């Protein structure tokens, strides 16, 4: 069991690279551009099929490890037998993270929108979403080592309320509420730039 729990290893290992390069890039290169009105809002239509849906089916009590990585910084947290979380090899001065509260929130994460696959886009699409490289990598595992969550998180949507993200169990680029990732970025000491200005020049100013 212990070997299984640690099978993810470092978040900078080949496994993460395969997620981003082999699996994810092929998907994003097939994404269509959403309509301009959709791109500006970053939110779903009001019809039932497009309303936010829960991304995961697990509960916080099932989680045993949380691993975070961004800008070359990594942190890994483990749940102890008494239910408390600790960080092996933690260094003094690192920002605190209430892992239990954070995972309770993350387990309820909902997909605001999913950009469907249709046609092709330019090879630069991945970077346009802030996903090459991603701003944040996140992985959650359960007691048996099973992967409960894995996300590559990109830049904010133009309205600032969402972030683009990729999950191995979903085909498209997801839009998930920005607040789901703020605490993780802070725990890594990573600056969180404001949303790209609508109409700005360069990739950040293009339609998402």
Q: How many Cα atoms within 13 Å fall on the side-chain side of residue 22?
A: 6
The total of other beta-carbon atoms located within 10 Å of residue 139's CB is: 20
pLDDT of residue 201: 37
Nearest Cα neighbor of 147 from 52, 19, 43, 17 is 19
- Decide: 123 and 116 in contact? Cβ < 8 Å: no
Q: Name the token pair of 2.
A: 């212990």
**3-state DSSP assignment of residue 27:** helix
Q: In whole angstroms, give the CA distance from residue 129 to residue 155.
A: 6
Q: In whole angstroms, give the CA distance from residue 162 to residue 175.
A: 6
The total of other beta-carbon atoms located within 10 Å of residue 32's CB is: 13
pLDDT of residue 60: 95
Q: In whole angstroms, give the CA distance from residue 131 to residue 20.
A: 8
Q: In whole angstroms, give the CA distance from residue 131 to residue 166.
A: 8
Q: What is the full per-residue pLDDT of the chain (208 aa) written as tens digits? A: 444 444 445 554 434 443 444 344 443 333 333 433 343 334 334 444 457 889 999 999 999 999 999 999 999 999 999 999 999 988 888 899 999 999 999 999 999 999 864 443 443 577 888 988 899 999 999 988 999 999 999 999 999 999 999 999 888 899 999 999 999 999 999 987 665 555 443 344 444 4
pLDDT of residue 169: 87
pLDDT of residue 116: 62
pLDDT of residue 194: 64
pLDDT of residue 111: 95
| pTM of structure | 0.72
């Amino acid at each position: 069991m212990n070997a299984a729990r640690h099978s993810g290893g470092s978040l900078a290992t080949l496994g993460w690279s395969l997620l981003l390069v082999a699996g994810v890039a092929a998907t994003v290169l097939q994404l269509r551009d959403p309509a301009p009105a959709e791109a500006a809002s970053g939110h779903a239509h009001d019809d039932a099929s497009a309303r936010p849906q829960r991304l995961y089916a697990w509960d916080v009590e099932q989680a045993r490890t949380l691993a975070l990585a961004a800008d070359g910084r990594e942190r890994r947290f483990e749940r102890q037998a008494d239910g408390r979380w600790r960080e092996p090899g933690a260094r003094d001065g690192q920002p605190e993270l209430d892992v239990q509260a954070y995972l309770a929130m993350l387990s309820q994460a909902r997909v605001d929108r999913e950009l469907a696959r249709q046609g092709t886009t330019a090879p630069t699409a991945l970077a346009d979403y802030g996903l090459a490289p991603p701003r944040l990598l996140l992985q959650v595992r359960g007691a048996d080592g099973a992967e409960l969550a894995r996300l590559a998180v990109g830049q904010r949507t133009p309205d600032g309320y969402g972030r683009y993200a990729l999950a191995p169990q979903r085909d498209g680029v997801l839009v998930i509420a920005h607040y789901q990732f703020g605490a993780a970025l802070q725990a890594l000491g990573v600056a969180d730039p404001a949303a790209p200005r609508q109409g700005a020049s360069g990739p950040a100013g293009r339609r998402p």
